[in-house]
Amino acid sequence: MIKARVKFNKSGTMKFIGHLDVMRYFQKAIRRADIDVAYSQGFSPHQLLSFASPLGVGLTSDAEYMDVQLNSLSSPEDMKQKMNAVMSMEMQILEITTLAESSKPAMAALAAADYLVSLKDGYPAVPDFEKRFQEFYNQESILITKKTKKREIQMDLKSYIYKYAYTRESFYGKSEETSAITTAQEYKNGQKVYLQLICGSVVNIKPEQVMEAFLAYLGESYNPFAYQIHRMELYADTNAPKGEANPNGCGKERHLVPLSNYGK
């Protein structure tokens, strides 16, 4: 059995496709590309696929991840070409890497995510956006109420915002991600913020929660249709014990690596 991690993007009209349809989309693409995928045993066999973090409807991304188990593999590049040939141009495979047999699933390894939040044209801009967002972040605490199925929990959002910036260059510095090709949509108003947030099964903060808290700080309501959210990368933390969140102020240094480089 061969484990492989597939990195793909999601852009254009494909942002309106929900997670279950994305899963069915890949199942069909794998069959059409004649990939030797492994199936589960039992009465109703299914392809052995799992996704790192399902993307919400309306969001776009440069870095979605799917783990797949294969019976055989000629080469990652050959599999990439075969699958892209039968897939939409708005959802293409960027990279396929083989994993060690003992590697954790992408979903279990997930620790952080990068996002670009852009104000769409035609919606009112926040005056002095960068200054006001900095004031918002510089608060001693950013308390929000997070609703679950059973109860409401108050939490401090600040410790889960790992970093923020207003340009790609200042967000990534001189790393490879700065020059990476992106499918993120550009808007004329230019009002945007880059966010790195905790992400995973223990604690998962969405950029919508950050923007809702920011606008509440300004005394305004958050309009989900006014902002386009684009995910740029998903990370594992090699310094975090299994299942443990590693927020700011916990006293442990984070070492984030893209999921495509984790588990080889």
Residue 249 tokens, joined: 């102020």
Q: Which domains, from first to last, does the chain contain?
A: 2-103 (3.30.70.580), 109-261 (no CATH)
Asked whether the beta carbons of 157 and 205 are under 8 A apart, the reply is yes
Q: How are the residues of the chain apportioned to helix, strand and coil, as percentages rounded to the nearest 5? A: 25, 30, 45
**Single-letter code of the amino acid located at 76:** P
Average pLDDT score over the chain: 92
Q: What is the pLDDT of residue 250?
A: 63
Enumerate residues 6+ apart whose C-beta is below 8 A from 52: 64, 65, 66, 67, 106, 107, 110, 234, 259
pLDDT tens string 76-113: 999 999 999 999 999 999 999 999 988 889 998 899 99
Residue 61 tokens, joined: 């991304």
Asked whether the beta carbons of 188 and 121 are under 8 A apart, the reply is yes
Q: Tell me, what DSSP letter sits at residue 37?
A: B
* pTM of this structure: 0.93
Q: What is the pLDDT of residue 153?
A: 84
3 state DSSP class of 41: coil
Average pLDDT over residues 14-38: 96
Among 120-129, 142-151, 174-183, name the most confident range: 120-129
Q: How far apart are CA 53 and CA 117, in angstroms?
A: 18
Instruction: Give the model's confidence band at 177: pLDDT under 50 very low, under 70 low, under 90 confident, else very high.
Output: low
pLDDT tens string 9-25: 999 999 999 999 999 99
Q: Tell me, what DSSP letter sits at residue 149?
A: S
Decide which of 48 and 145 is more confident: 48
pLDDT tens string 211-257: 999 999 999 999 999 999 999 999 999 887 665 667 665 667 888 99
Average pLDDT over residues 54-65: 95
Q: What is the pLDDT of residue 80?
A: 97
Percent of the chain with pLDDT over 70: 94
Percent of the chain with pLDDT over 90: 75
Q: Which helix (H) or strand (E) holds 216?
A: helix 207-217
Strand partners, 161: 197
Helices (H), 86-201: 106-109, 129-137, 168-172
Q: What is the pLDDT of residue 173?
A: 85
Q: What is the pLDDT of residue 240?
A: 77
Q: How far apart are CA 213 and CA 31, in angstroms?
A: 44
